Amino acid sequence: MAFGVIIIGDEILSGRRVDKHLPKLIELLSARGLALSWAEYVGDERARITATLARTFASGDIVFSTGGIGATPDDHTRQCAADALGVPLELHPQAAALIRERIRDMQPAGSAPVDLDSPDNRHRLNMGVFPRGASIIPNGYNKIPGFSVGDHHFVPGFPVMAWPMIEWVLDTKYAHLHHQVAHAERSLYVFELAESTLTPLMEKIEADFPGVRVFSLPSVGDAERGGVFTRRHIDLGVKGEPEAVAAAFVKLREGVHLLGGDIVEPEGEPPASR
């Protein structure tokens, strides 16, 4: 099953906030032997969010969505999810109980009893209004839950809340997928060769080792790293099943030598397989 993420919010697209969800989700998945297949950024536009969710609901992918599940006018994700599914919104009873519990927790000690029917508190219940059939995602930070519908999981935009909630989903709903596929990656830095020169070698490696993918990441040079890395170079490597990667990497290195490339291998042990 492919994993994807939808990161929602005008503040990301305008630059008012810097997205931290994408690298963190990659980290959380990698720690469990999983990988992210795609990511999309969407602003606070209801029609676009709805269209995006309608497409991803139909994909069969496991999808995390961050942001837009609050109760202010610019929070549209809950309604868009319901529209994309063609179902109504309704107050989730467990979410309502948790929100009321949070309201009581926020009441100062010694103050008057909480009025759960006050306009402010009734409005807070909107954060527990989810598409029909949703289940909740616990929020250990402030008890206000996210929600899941099938394999789509909706969490707040705040990293302090979202990241533990994503971990809970991965470890509760998808533990059976952890470390299912062995994977390894090996690379080297190549100097003095153009990508066009390396392309036939890359094509041959992929043809000779089915299931192994070759990657090529060129750099114009990085003065901050110093030494040889101030020169133009290519981060060239292979990834896939560990045994096949080991054999393909030998052929890749031999091929670069035959082409006259100058090689620097990364320091330390080869990346661990997952």
- Domain ranges within the chain, ordered by starting residue: 3-177, 184-264
Q: Which two tokens stand for residue 236?
A: 């060239």
Closest CA to 136 of 160, 155, 116, 123: 155
CA distances to 25, 27, 35, 36, 273 from 30, rounded to whole Å, are: 8, 5, 6, 8, 11
Residue 26 or 108, more confident: 26
CA distances to 52, 60, 267 from 245, rounded to whole Å, are: 36, 29, 18
The CATH fold assigned to 3-177 is Molybdenum Cofactor Biosythetic Enzyme; Chain A (3.40.980)
Q: What angle do CA 33, 36, 39 make, to 5 degrees?
A: 165
Q: Which of 20-24, 117-121, 222-226 tops mean pLDDT?
A: 20-24
Q: How far is CA 194 from the centre of its chain?
A: 33
pLDDT of residue 269: 42
d(CA 254, CA 247): 11
Q: DSSP code of 67?
A: S
Q: What angle do CA 161, 54, 48 make, to 5 degrees?
A: 75
Let me know if domain 184-264 sits in CATH 1.10.1740: no
Range with the lowest mean pLDDT among 10-14, 233-237, 246-250, 270-274?
270-274
Q: Helices 46-57 and 77-85 sit at what angle, rounded to 10 degrees?
A: 50
Q: DSSP code of 168?
A: H
Q: Which long-range contacts (CB under 8 A, 24 or more apart) does 68-75 make?
A: 68/8, 68/9, 68/44, 68/157, 69/127, 69/146, 69/147, 69/154, 69/155, 69/156, 70/127, 70/156, 71/123, 71/124, 71/126, 71/127, 74/10, 74/44, 75/44
Q: Helices 242-258 and 195-208 sit at what angle, rounded to 10 degrees?
A: 140
- pLDDT, one tens digit per residue, over 37-96 is 999 999 999 999 999 999 999 999 999 999 999 999 999 999 999 999 999 999 999 999
- pLDDT, one tens digit per residue, over 112-153 is 788 888 999 999 999 999 999 999 999 999 999 999 999 999
Q: DSSP code of 95?
A: H
Q: Give the rounded percent of residues in the chain with a pLDDT score beyond 90.
A: 82
Per DSSP, helices labelled H in 118-194 are 119-124, 159-173
